[in-house]
Amino acid sequence: MILVTGGAGFIGANFVLDWLGQTDEALLNLDKLTYAGNIDTLRSLDSDPRHLFVQGDIGDAALVAKLLAEHKPRAVVNFAAESHVDRSIHGPEDFIQTNIVGTFHLLEAVRAYWAGLEGEARQNFRMLHVSTDEVYGSLGKDDPAFTETHRYEPNSPYSASKAASDHLVRAYHHTYGLPVLTTNCSNNYGPYHFPEKLIPLMIVNALAGKPLPVYGDGQQIRDWLYVKDHCSAIRRVLEAGTLGDVYNVGGWNEKPNIEIVHAICALLDELRPRTDGASYSTQITYVTDRPGHDRRYAIDASKLQRELGWKPAETFETGIRKTVQWYLENNAWVDNVTSGTYRKWIEKQYT
């Protein structure tokens, strides 16, 4: 079996569902169930014996050691993190705790477990650490896209904490020989995305008749990757990646934020027109910019294609249509995650 951490979050849960849709290999899912973790996403696995869920912290070394000893996974895939840049600006401490200290404890537990393995089990063991393109900092308009050798220049408490975790992972390979792989990915989107991030927030706000808050001038550029493509990239790196190597994962879809918001509005105009006949784009509102807002990210994912034959299956046009349709068909999931503490966050961030 494999151990997945953070498997109740957006990408982790998509990965869990995708994994169990492709293979019968069991999966142990360790997730703390913070505000971002949602066990509802995994309801379809309730009676699936291949999925074992444990609520717990990657920073709880004793728990992780016990789980490793009991279940003897052949691989660990680490998604667990605090992941929202705006929240890291309001309160960085959880980011330091989970992304740095938590990753450190996880690495220590995995190192001890791996040291006790023998023969093929030891040789085949892998730990894959999921990271972000934000560790590379911000690009100018005409700069070439980030490659795996781009220098680290993180600008937010979130990206700095992810950068620190990447360095720890790298050091555990270099110093102890721990068989690690790291992936640095661009902005994901797709089903089960918590509506604090740009794409799901815009869909949910548009349908609720609320303003669509675009930070600054809306010309910040991100590369967008459909989450299922990210899942297939991780499976491929886990299967065939070179130990100690880093792989950039991207969708080859660089777009300014305002274009993303207009694309969502156009799809909603087509699929769920407003009753007054106006376009959802009339709800767009420019708001105060994010402090230290990175201007542009762009990922060069050619190493992954060249060495491991991976490329994304979705274009932005196909992926965003699937995403908008998913939100239109999954009201109950949205209602469930947008109650209670979610409302407090929206109030704090946007008023």
Active site residue 134: yes
**How far is Cα 99 from Cα 80, in angstroms, rounded to an integer?**
8
Give residues 170-189 in contact with ligand NAD (rule: CB under 6 A). Answer: 185, 187-188
Residue 78 interacting with ligand DAU (CB under 6 A) = no
Q: Is 84 in the site for ligand DAU (CB under 6 A)?
A: yes
Question: Backbone phi, then psi, for 37, in 5-degree steps?
Answer: -90, 135
- Where does residue 319 rank: exposed (0-12), middle (13-18), buried (19+ CB within 10 A)? buried
Residue 310: strand, helix, or coil = coil
Among positions 5, 132, 165, 248, the unique one binding ligand DAU when judged by CB under 6 A: 132
253 binding ligand NAD? (CB under 6 A): no
CB of 156 to ligand NAD, least distance (A): 12
67 in Cβ contact with 112 (< 8 Å) = no
226 is an active site residue: no
The reply on whether position 346 binds ligand DAU by CB under 6 A is: no
CA–CA dist 78, 4 (Å, integer): 6
- Asked if 55 and 31 count as a contact pair (C-beta separation under 8 A), the reply is yes
Tell me the Ramachandran region of residue 107: left when phi exceeds 0, alpha when psi lies from -120 to 50, beta otherwise: alpha
From 53, 113, 297, 327, residue interacting with ligand DAU (rule: CB under 6 A): 297
What's the rounded Cα separation, in Å, for the pair 174 and 330?
45
Determine the size of the site formed for ligand DAU (CB under 6 A). 19
Binding mask 29-48 for ligand NAD (x = CB under 6 A): --xxxx-xx-----------
Does position 257 bind ligand DAU by CB under 6 A? yes
Please choose, out of 90-98, 144-152, 210-218, 337-345, the segment that lies near ligand DAU by the rule CB under 6 A.
210-218
Nearer to ligand DAU, 127 or 198 (CB): 198
CB of 287 to ligand DAU, least distance (A): 7
Q: Binding residues for ligand NAD, how many (CB under 6 A)? A: 30
In the list ligand DAU, ligand NAD, none, the entry touching 194 (Cβ below 5 to 8 angstroms by class) is ligand NAD
Site for ligand NAD in 52-71 (CB under 6 A): 57-59
Q: Are 42 and 13 in contact (CB under 8 A)?
A: yes
317 among known catalytic residues: no
Among 85, 181, 267, 284, binds ligand DAU (CB under 6 A): 85
How many degrees, rounded to 5, is the angle at CA 14 between CA 159 and CA 47?
135
**Which residue among 197, 255, 262, 296 contacts ligand DAU (CB under 6 A)?**
197
State the minimum distance, in angstroms, from the CB of residue 120 to ligand DAU.
35
CA separation for the pair 135, 154 (Å, rounded): 5
> Buried b vs exposed e over 204-240: b needs ≥16 C-beta within 10 Å?
bbbbeeeebbbeeebebbbbbbbbbbbbbbbbbbbee
Say whether residue 338 binds ligand NAD (CB under 6 A): no
The DSSP bridge partners found for residue 254 are 223
| Chain positions contacting ligand NAD, by CB under 6 A | 5-6, 8-12, 31-34, 36-37, 57-59, 79-83, 98, 102, 130, 132, 162, 185, 187-188, 194
